[in-house]
A and B are shown apart, each in its own frame.
Chain A
Amino acid sequence: ETGVTQTPRHLVMGMTNKKSLKCEQHLGHNAMYWYKQSAKKPLELMFVYSLEERVENNSVPSRFSPECPNSSHLFLHLHTLQPEDSALYLCASSQDSTQPQHFGDGTRLSIL
């Protein structure tokens, strides 16, 4: 089992930069997720994709733009971020929404 792989592991960017986070799973799962994990705060679900269709967007600001080109890949495009967006961004996948989620190790994002 190769699990869920996230790249890069660390990212430092200025508020005017544009960057993308990548997530890849080879588990044959149909659902993929983006979470934000900030210090001292609960895990926040950002987006859910099922069979490459976005099924959930939890009021995430438009400066975060997800993309799911196929069932194995998920991207999070970032632009004009704010300092409060600094956090650990976790990607996960599952067979369907009721099954356990498999998480990547996350991308630690720092906004200067």
Chain B
Amino acid sequence: AQSVTQPDIHITVSEGASLELRCNYSYGATPYLFWYVQSPGQGLQLLLKYFSGDTLVQGIKGFEAEFKRSQSSFNLRKPSVHWSDAAEYFCAVVPNTNAGKSTFGDGTTLTVKP
């Protein structure tokens, strides 16, 4: 079975600083990979996804993520964080089969300092 690890439970960055949120997965082949964001009082919203092809994927709100097969990682980045980016971020993996089931990481809470 696949698994997802988000090593950082909580990260604090200053507004305008760069951000990297880590995600590592365990799966026998290359899965489909996703990042979601959850703002307080709301459901999860898809930021970006990786299915195949270019390993650097662009998402909404200025986020990007890079798939590194050798490291089984799919880290999320943003060059300059805005106060509105404060939220919880979830990495998810799905096996690339018809019977695939999503597995979510435990989430990373991002705090943005003014």
Interface residues of A (CB under 8 A from B): 4, 6, 42-43, 45, 48, 56, 90, 92, 96-98, 100-106
The answer to whether B101 touches A105 (Cβ under 8 A) is no
The answer to whether A98 touches B94 (Cβ under 8 A) is yes
Q: Looking at the complex, which of B14-22, B36-44, B67-75, B76-84 is the stretch in contact with chain A?
A: B36-44
B109 to chain A, nearest CB (A): 11
B64 to chain A, nearest CB (A): 16
The answer to whether A97 touches B43 (Cβ under 8 A) is no
Q: B34 contacts the other chain (Cβ, under 8 Å)?
A: yes
How many B residues touch A, CB cutoff 8 Å?
24
* Given A43-B90, A43-B104, A43-B107, residue A98 in contact with residue B97 (CB < 8 A): yes
Residues of B within 8 A of A45 (CB): 101-102
| Known contacts A100-B49, A101-B102, then 7 further A-B pairs from the complex at CB < 8 Å, ordered by chain A residue | A4-B43, A6-B43, A90-B44, A98-B96, A98-B98, A103-B45, A104-B43
The answer to whether B101 touches A101 (Cβ under 8 A) is no
Q: In the complex, A100→B91 CA distance in Å?
A: 12
Residues of A within 8 A of B102 (CB): 45, 97, 101
Q: In the complex, A100→B60 CA distance in Å?
A: 14
